[in-house]
Amino acid sequence: MELRGKIEVLFARADLTSDDRAVFEEFKTALRSGAIRSAEKGEDGVWRANAWVKQGILLGFRMGKMAEMSKPTETLHFFDKDTYPLRPISLEDKIRIVPGGSTIRDGSFVAENVVLMPPCYINVGSYVDEGTMVDSHALVGSCAQIGKRVHLSAAAQIGGVLEPVNATPVIIEDDALIGGNTGVYEGTIVRERAVLASGVILTRSTPVFDLPNSRVIKADEGGSLEIPAGAVVVQGSRAVTNDFGRENGLSIYCPIIVKYRDERTDAAAKLEDYLR
């Protein structure tokens, strides 16, 4: 609570001094350790954003100065705010980072036994829990919350949500399987054990057609789209019903829940354990 008060005071101030940097570094260390996070799940099962944590992240951009992040001997050069270098990491962190160019930005939490395949990127404010695999070319966007034993397959894109500060970021709960080339954006919540097949795209405005329950799932006004626990979601399409659409055989992309997770789905998902 003391740290929260300090961040809220600094965020409201127009002018920042070099002495304020110590408060930000304390804040960033707490983010890195997982002591604080940008969103949390309440006992009622509802995810809520911690607005003050997002304020602290934005504060880092305000007080940061452009600096060279690369070494003079490197061919590729990088320039960014000095408040957000690469995350300090060592063998003792027990994170498996396969060689090949993955990046973890400071101010993110990555738990033990996480596997990072190259090249992947984990942005500031994100939280990646134990046993998760982040595959090649996958993105964990700013403030995204990734649960335990999640598999983010190759080229999966988990969007970032920094502003507005009270907006819930993208949430992927425990044991979810996110297929290759999927995209989850705008604060969408994927509940535990759900499966998103390759190429599924989810945003706040995306209607999801639940075949087993004969319903259409939409985000509440101002709320998040939620994929139910255990849902298996695939790419689908629905016909364009106006005259022009019918005449030209047009259809629009839509995600479809074709079933809910069963023993056969569990067996297919378990194959990835051999890679860990």
Phi then psi dihedrals of residue 205, to 5 deg:
-95, 5
Cβ count within 10 A of residue 245: 13
Per-residue pLDDT of the chain (276 residues; tens, 9 = 90+): 799 999 999 999 989 888 899 999 999 999 999 999 999 999 999 999 999 999 999 999 999 999 999 888 888 889 999 999 999 999 999 999 999 999 999 999 999 999 999 999 999 999 999 999 999 999 999 999 999 999 999 999 999 999 889 899 999 999 999 999 999 999 999 999 999 999 999 999 999 999 999 999 999 888 899 999 999 999 999 999 999 999 999 999 999 999 999 888 777 776 566 556
Question: Beta-strand (E) ranges in 59-122?
Answer: 66-68, 79-81, 96-97, 103-104, 109-110, 115-116, 121-122
Question: Radius of gyration (Cα) for the chain, nearest Å?
Answer: 20
Q: Where are the domains of the chain?
A: 88-271
User: Rounded to whole angstroms, how far apart are CA atoms 203 and 211?
Assistant: 19
Phi then psi dihedrals of residue 86, to 5 deg:
-65, 150
CATH class of 88-271: mainly beta
Q: Is the pTM of this model over 0.85?
A: yes
Q: Which of 165, 122, 166 is nearest to 146 (CA)?
A: 122
